[in-house]
Amino acid sequence: MTAPLLVFDLDGTLVDTADDLIATLNVILADEGIRAMTRAEAGSLLGAGVRAMIARGFSLVDRTVEPAHLDRLFDRFIPLYTQSIAVRSRPFPGVTAALDRFEAAGWRFAVCTNKLERLSHLLLGELGLESRFAAICGGDTFAVQKPDAGHLLGTITRAGGMPDRAVMVGDSATDVKAAKNAEVPVVAVTFGYTDAPVASYGPDAVIDRFDELWDAVAGLGRG
């Protein structure tokens, strides 16, 4: 029988990356004459990839950015962020213990994130977590990205899993929508990056801490 699979979002779910992302964003925005974004604004900025984050930074001060200029800002952001990807980013409390418990019970793991694939590998490698995942699929891995079902389903396939034996774990509307589109149950975490209560997006279960993940997943009947 195919092993059950937990598919995690990355930023705001597995790893608290807000400080490093916003620090890099603020370098970009400063050159555009835009005020610095704060950690408190992470929920309004993060969760949909770098281009969306930059555009949201503009929108928070009632400015727009043309697509061609956004591409240029994206191209500047990536090398800056690569150099400081794990300065302050750390796994959320309880991540390692949760992975250990599920692994001992025969589960496998994958990452499905809108972060670029190479940056996802780099970050998880810097944090000593990369080897825990059977697949790490980013926003540029496939022709589509979350909330398109193809991103999550493609990740499940790459990890050697099956949709009817998989559970998504995420922190945002994007994650919940992707799981619903793929007809995969989803557990949402409350400590991630969202500008509305994550329960309002209709996940199958909600947890406040990683030590609650075991019981939440057990309640979904996918073990």
Q: In whole angstroms, what is the distance from residue 46 CA to residue 40 CA?
A: 11
DSSP structural state of residue 148: S
Which residues, listed in sequence order, are joined to residue 166 by a DSSP beta bridge? 5
Query: Is there a catalytic annotation at residue 9?
Result: yes
DSSP 58-127: HHTTT----HHHHHHHHHHHHHHHHHTTTSS-EEPTTHHHHHHHHHHTT-EEEEE-SS-HHHHHHHHHHT
Contacts of 37 (CB under 8 A, 6+ apart): 22, 25, 26, 29, 45, 57, 60
Q: Which of 9, 16, 175, 204 is catalytic?
A: 9
Burial readout 68-99 (b: 16 or more C-beta within 10 A, e: otherwise): eebeebbeebeeebeeebeeebebbeebeebb
Q: Which residues are catalytic?
A: 9
